[in-house]
Structure 1
Amino acid sequence: MSDRPPKPPRQEQWDNFMEIPLAVASLVYLAGYAVRILADDSLSQVWLDLCLALTFAAWAVFGVDYAVRFRLSRQGVLRFVRTHLLDTVVVILPLLRPVRMVNLYYRLQGRREKPRLSLYARVMVYAGLSATLLGFAGALTVYRFERDAPGATIVTFGDSVWWACATLATVGYGDVTPVTPMGRLVAVGMMACGLALLGAVTGSFSSWLIQVFTREDEKGPPGDFPGAS
């Protein structure tokens, strides 16, 4: 049973009010970060500074949202951090914030009396979207630190995307690997997330298959198995 207390009405109103602004800020942050890394050689300094300003503005939105929710929760600092650990992590590491955009889809589905997708399909969609956003963010970060490193094998963004896909899928071909401390730190995080997401998808798919086969067995008349009398 979760130890997170029920949300006060004002906090619930704030969360609903900030759904769209946080999703937009997440996209702005990811876009600004991506442009600064992928187009830093082709853009003028003015555009690069604008991207940096948008990135910090989006980060400020995350910080303000976190502070307001802490104030409205009426909890102590340690208890709030413990019960909102993921939110705390994405404020400290805002590049993970776009992954939280998936929550917008989840909350919109939850408001429907009958969601369009089944529970298993929602888990797989959630995991798929999270893996896509996390892989893109991880590929950007690794490319930023690896491209100019001595002895690097990840020298293009394509190499970085290939590496991110292999890492999240827990394949690990080893043809391209990070050599910098930051790149390896990102790799460890992506390995852990890849295992968790892959486990969620595999578990949901297995449960769905078991449910389908169980329904088929219940519909079939006795003696429809080979060798049954």
Structure 2
Amino acid sequence: MSQRPAPEAPARLTRWEQRTELPLFAASLLFLAGYAFRVLAPHDAQPWHDLSLILVWSTWLMFLADYAVRLRLSGLGARFVGVRWLDTLVLVLPLLRPLRMVKVYSAVQQRHDRPRLTLYARVMSYASLSAVLLGFSASLAVYRLEREAPGASIRTFGDAVWWACATLSTVGYGDAAPVTFWGRTVAAGLMACGLALLGAVTGSFSSWLIQVFTREDEKRPPERG
């Protein structure tokens, strides 16, 4: 009796990603919640600080285990690190997991026969959600790095949120700016992400308007000569 051949590695990897993308997104929200508590809660808030640390490390270990499974199923070996650079990046910097929102959306679409939103609405909604999560993550990181730095202008979490909003919107008032090396590194990354997300939203909105105007022109009766 012949045995069925094992499925190819890319097919197995695709199935694994479809099954785990949503649970891992939920885990990333738990990671963000635990990290936010450690940054914002008073230092004497015990035992909650220890519990939040356990939550952060537990969810990161989930990301590590998922990365190991993806590495094995891909069949790429060490090349997986470079080929799937986004997976590698969000493993090293879990606060960047909102960048995987596109893959989360793809996993959701696999469970529905027809999309519930138009293409333009989907791009705008997921880019907006990614911007909110990235802005919140960057606010936490910069506040933690800057609040005790000499000469810092970001002393409160409110200052950090204001800075993140100005950076993501590409306004950049300059009244609040990081002064440390790592704070500026976070700022540079947020600037790049802000430009990409803003371009996705504005481009989709412009395309949607053009599509609406085109349909209106097609419905308009032809003018009589």
Deviations 1:102-125 (A, max 9, x none): 643442135322211000000001
Map of 1:144 onto structure 2: 144
CA contact (8 A) 1:140 1:160 kept: yes
1:88 aligns with 2:116: no
Aligned sequence identity (%)? 63
In structure 1, C-alpha distance between the alignment counterparts of 2:55 and 2:35, rounded to whole Å: 9
TM-score (norm. length: structure 1): 0.89
- Letter in structure 1 aligned against 2:41: A
Q: For 1:40 and 1:106, locate their aligned partners in 2 and report how far apart those are by CA, in whole Å.
A: 39
Residue in structure 1 matched with residue 45 of structure 2 by the alignment: 43
Superposed, 1:25-44 pairs within 5 Å as 25-44=27-46
Please give the alpha-carbon distance, in whole angstroms, between the structure 1 residues aligned to 2:214 and 2:190.
35
Give the C-alpha shift of residue 99 in structure 1: 4.2
Matched position secondary structure for 1:179: coil
Does the aligned pair in 1 maintain the 2:101–2:126 contact within 8 Å? no
Q: CA RMSD in A?
A: 1.8
AA at the equivalent of 1:33: Y
Match in the other structure for 1:207: 207
Are the equivalent residues in 2 in contact too, given 1:102–1:130 (CA < 8 A)? no
Give 1:1-229 correspondences, 5 Å limit. Answer: 8-44=10-46, 46-78=47-79, 80-100=80-100, 103-223=103-223, 229=225
Which whole-Å CA distance do the structure 1 matches of 2:111 and 2:23 have between them?
A: 19
Counterpart residue identity of residue 59, structure 1: W
Distance (Å, rounded) in 2 between the aligned partners of 1:57 and 1:204: 38
Corresponding letter in the other structure for 2:14 = E
C-alpha distance in 2 between matches for 1:175 and 1:89: 30
Q: Any unmatched runs of 5+ in structure 1?
A: 1-5
Provide structure 2 residue ranges, at least 5 long, that are not aligned to the other structure: 1-7
Count how many residue pairs are aligned between Structure 1 and Structure 2.
218
Superposed CA offset, 1:34-66 (max 9, x none):
00000033512x321221121111111111101
The structure-2 alpha-carbon separation of the partners of 1:98 and 1:168, relative to structure 1 and needing over 3 Å to count, comes to: same
* Paired amino acid for 1:191: M
Alignment-mate amino acid for residue 157 of structure 2: F
Does structure 2 retain, via aligned residues, the 8 Å contact 1:26–1:101?
no
- What is the CA distance between 1:215 and its match in structure 2? 1.1
Q: How far off is 1:158 after superposition?
A: 0.5
Partner of 1:111, secondary structure, is coil
SS in 2 for 1:174: coil
- Determine if contact 1:142/1:183 at 8 Å carries over to the other structure: yes
Worse-matched range after superposition: 184-193 or 92-101: 92-101
Aligned residue in 2 for 1:3: none
Structure 1 residue 223 displacement after superposition: 2.5
CA contact (8 A) 1:63 1:91 kept: yes
1:99–1:133 CA contact under 8 A, matched in 2: no
Once the 2 structures are TM-superposed, how far is the Cα of residue 100 of structure 1 from its aligned partner?
Answer: 2.7
Alpha-carbon distance between aligned partners in 1 of 2:178 and 2:117, rounded to the nearest angstrom:
38
